[in-house]
Each structure stands twice: as structure tokens, then as C-alpha cells.
Amino acid sequence: MQGQALPGFRDSYPEELAFRNSIFATWREVARRYGFQEYDGPPLEPLELYTEKSGEEIVQQLYAFEDKGGRKVALRPEMTPTLARMVGARAQALKKPIRWFSIPQLFRYERQQRGRLREHFQLNMDIIGEAGPLADAELIAATIDIMRAFGFGPTDVQARVSDRRVLRTLLLGSGLTEAQLPTAFEVIDKSERVPGEALAEILSKVGIGQREATIVFEVAKLRSIETVSAALAKVKGGDEAGESLRTVIAALGTMGLSEFVAVDLTIVRGLAYYTGIVFELFDRGKELRAICGGGRYDNLIREIAGVDLPCVGFGMGDVVLGELLAEQRKRVEASGQLDAFLVAVGGEDVAPVLQLAAGLRDRGIAVEYALRNQPIRKQLELAAARGASRAVIIGPDERKAKVAVVRDLKTGKQRKVALTKVRKGVFQ
Ligand code: HAM
């Protein structure tokens, strides 16, 4: 007996798949509204695509192995390096800015917990070839519009936006050294989850003194574009470093999305390649992990494909979003609604039923019939269980009269309809 799927992997029964497909449909619909084209890449990639560019965290979570040809390969844990390679390979030919989206299944060997599995599907939307902050604003707006399309409002979800350049400038301007930055970023990232003393200890280990530590904690607490701008005004290059963030926040305001957006410098993001604006979307209760995350990564295509192209994008998984949807509304009905269930009264009616089924299916009408000789009662039971709206009953008398009995399975009412009509899918 092979009892269960692997930990962190899902069997998708029809209702679950219908639910997932409804998520995909909304993702595709919003991506279309934003003028994005869909692409895909291979689920298995050369290991080195991830080991150098994505950063420690994701590398530790790789499903990596050697294939039968001795190549080191990995199941894709994220889509961004594949996208960078694909765009890099055709960089000249593609019209910029490129707006592409994809819904890959991704694999990460994570500790399984709420909102975290070992496989998930992730909508990726990326804009490539545009360095200006309106591209960043466009993608943050898209994440919000996706949530709006699912029926969520600003009391349900919030986009938290930061900029690594702002963090760098504030921290370097306050006396931290370049070498201390990664640790300061780590502490800022954890500042809402880990007690202050533990964080202070992490800082002191890399030689960040009391005064600088206080600055790190103050930076982590900045929560508006005004306070961030005021802090930036006090350090060298501050004004320039804050320009993108200011433009993004203003643009989102112009789009009428301010209520959904907060400046929050504790958003640092785990992946190594981000270079500027970074953002994450959370449920307001902050009970779940990030619904989506992304940011600007202007150097990745150069590192992977040797072409200079600025990029910004995000990934939104189906797991956290699915939990949020399940919490707030009912699950989606499984599709596969039948238009009619064909009932053969006796053995000699089976051939006419097969013929009728073939003809109706050719016309795009969804029909099913019993795959073995069964009493009418059994056939009608199956028809009801399948959710068919009607049964079309064919017996010797009906065939002689060139009619079928069409029975409405909701009301139980039935009537005779000419076979010539039924064959065309007209059931009344
Ligand atoms: P990420 O933050 O690693 O970013 O993942 C984005 C989203 O995918 C998360 O916010 C979460 O919803 C979902 N996710 C990630 N890991 C899991 C998991 N183990 N189980 C369930 N859901 C998960 C990226 O992957 C970037 N490549 C996104 C990006 C695209 N940046 C620029 N373009």
C-alpha cells in the first residue's frame, strides 16, 4: 500500500483543483487587464542557475540531484532565474518593456507549516527593460487588483513597500560599514518577530555598537513616506535614494490605492538579487505569511545572461492566498457540469444512446451515460449524483415514436421531445 503523497505535496481532488483553477482564472484575468503575455519554462533546471544568484535560503531548500547524464540539476524553486535566462537569450529581439507572466509549479524543501508546502503554484508577473519607478508601481497595483478581484478590500490586505537603496543609504549614512549591512538587514527583517535583546546580540556580534544599533531599530520603525523622507534628508545622498519610493507611493495614490499601501522598511526580502524597491502583501491580521513578494532586481539578467536589463516583478503563491480565500468565503464548486445524462431503457437502446452521445458531444454538449446495462433507477441516481440538469431517456417506445423523454432532474417534470431536436441539443 502506497498510502500518502510525500509531505508537503498535495493530491488535488476535483473540488480542490476547481478551487485552484478559479485562482488561476483570476490571476490570468488581471494579468490580461495589465497587458501581460504568458510564458513558461522547464521545471528542471541546471543547479548552477540557483546556487549563485538566489541566495543562501533558497539554495538550502533545493530539490537537487544528479541526472542520468551526470548533470547537476534542480527542480525550480522560483521562476525568476529561468525568466532572466529566457529574456537574456532573446534580449535584442523582444520589444521593451517586456510584460510577461507565468504560473509555474515550484519546489522547495521547506519545513512544512501553515502556508508553506514543498510544492506550490506561483503567479509571476515581471516587467523587464524599464528602470523607472512607474514599473514598480504598476506591479504593486497589479497585486492589489488581484486581491480586489478576489473580493478583498483594504481592511483585509495591505501591500508593504520598502526600498533596499533607502535602507542602505540610511544605515551607511548613520555610520554602519558596508560589511555590517547584511546583518543590519537581517535584524530589520526580523524586528517584528524576534525580541529586541536577541536582535541587539546579533548586531553586537558583528561589531555594531550601541549607538548604531539604536539607529537600526529606529530605521525599522519608520512607517510613512514623510518620516522616511525626513530621515533621508539628514544623510548624504538621501534625497536621491528616496526618489523611487516617493514616486511609487505617489503613483499608487493617484491610482486610488493608498488605502492598500504602507511604507514599511522591515520588508527586506530573503532573495539576494533585489536591488531597489521591495514589497510584500499581507493579510491585515498578519496571521499568515506573505501572500506575495517581489521587487526590483536590476542586475540579475546581466549576471545570468550578460545583458543589461532592469527588471521588477513579484511572485504570488496559491497556498497563502488559498487559505485566506477559504477563511473568508466558501469553496468553489467542482466544474464538469453535465448538460444531460442519457438513459438507455434496455440493452437494445444502448447503441442509439451511444450515437446520440457522440453527436451531442460533437456539438460541444456535455453528456454522460451508464457504461453498463443498468436499471433506469440506477441510471437516474447516477445522473443526479453527477449534477446533470436533465436526463434524456431512450426506450423502444420512444424510438418507435422518434422522440426522447426529457426529464428535468430538479423538478422531476418530464416531456417528450422530438429526436430531431434532441440531436441538435434542443431539449424542450
Ligand atoms: P518568494 O518571496 O520566495 O519570491 O515567493 C513569493 C510568494 O510565493 C510568497 O509570498 C508565498 O506566497 C509563495 N511561496 C513561496 N514559498 C512557498 C512555499 N514553500 N509554500 C507556499 N507558498 C510559497 C520569489 O519566489 C521571487 N522569485 C518572486 C519574484 C518574481 N521576484 C521578482 N519576480
Q: Which atom of ligand 1 is nearest to the CA of 280?
A: 10
Q: Is 402 a domain residue?
A: yes
Question: How far apart, in Å, are the Cα atoms of 107 and each of 112, 273, 308, 325?
Answer: 12, 19, 29, 22
Longest CA–CA span in the chain (Å) reads: 97
Do 391 and 242 fall within a single domain? no
Residue 296, Cβ neighbours under 10 Å: how many? 26
Query: CATH number of the domain that 395 lies in?
Result: 3.40.50.800
Q: Which atom of ligand 1 is nearest to the CA of 77?
A: 25
Q: What's the pTM value of the predicted model, to 2 decimals?
A: 0.92
Tell me the CA–centroid distance for residue 313 and ligand 1, in Å. Answer: 11
Structural domain containing residue 73: 14-327
Tell me the CA–centroid distance for residue 335 and ligand 1, in Å. Answer: 28
CB 124 within 8 A of CB 313: yes
Cell of 155: 481592511
Residue 368, Cβ neighbours under 10 Å: how many? 17
Tell me the CA–centroid distance for residue 121 and ligand 1, in Å. Answer: 9
Do 363 and 306 fall within a single domain? no
Query: CATH number of the domain that 67 lies in?
Result: 3.30.930.10
Our count of domains for the chain comes to 2
Cell of 65: 540531484
Tell me the CA–centroid distance for residue 294 and ligand 1, in Å. Answer: 8
Q: Is 48 a domain residue?
A: yes
Do 136 and 221 fall within a single domain? yes
Do 63 and 174 fall within a single domain? yes
Q: Whose CA is nearest to atom 24 of ligand 1?
A: 315
Q: Alpha-carbon torsion 113, 31, 305, 85, what sign? A: positive
Do 289 and 404 fall within a single domain? no
Q: Whose CA is nearest to atom 14 of ligand 1?
A: 317
CB 122 within 8 A of CB 104: yes
Tell me the CA–centroid distance for residue 106 and ligand 1, in Å. Answer: 9
CB 360 within 8 A of CB 367: yes
Tell me the CA–centroid distance for residue 318 and ligand 1, in Å. Answer: 10
Q: Whose CA is nearest to atom 20 of ligand 1?
A: 116
Do 77 and 211 fall within a single domain? yes
Q: Is 263 a domain residue?
A: yes
Residues 6+ apart with CB under 8 A from 239: 232, 233
DSSP per-residue codes, 167-225? HHHHHHHTT--GGGHHHHHHHHHHTTTS-HHHHHHHHHHTT--HHHHHHHHHHHH--SH
Do 283 and 370 fall within a single domain? no
**Best residue for ligand 1 mutational test, from 109, 122, 300 (most atoms within 8 Å of Cβ):** 122
Do 166 and 77 fall within a single domain? yes
Tell me the CA–centroid distance for residue 329 and ligand 1, in Å. Answer: 24
The pocket around ligand 1, CB under 6 angstroms, is made up of 78-80, 108, 110, 116-117, 120, 122, 124, 126, 271, 290-294, 297, 313-317, 319-320
Q: pLDDT truncated to tens, each residue of the chain (428 aa)?
A: 678 999 999 999 998 999 999 999 999 999 999 999 999 999 999 999 998 776 677 788 999 999 999 999 999 999 999 999 999 999 999 999 999 999 999 999 998 888 999 999 999 999 999 999 999 999 999 999 999 999 999 999 999 999 999 999 999 998 899 999 989 999 999 998 899 899 999 999 988 888 889 999 999 999 999 999 999 999 999 999 999 999 999 999 999 999 999 999 999 887 889 999 999 999 998 888 999 999 999 999 999 999 999 999 999 999 999 999 988 765 555 566 799 999 999 999 999 999 999 999 999 999 999 999 999 999 999 999 999 999 999 999 999 999 999 999 999 999 999 999 999 999 98
Q: Whose CA is nearest to atom 15 of ligand 1?
A: 317
Tell me the CA–centroid distance for residue 181 and ligand 1, in Å. Answer: 24
Question: Which of 303, 327, 351 delimits the end of a domain?
Answer: 327
Do 370 and 285 fall within a single domain? no
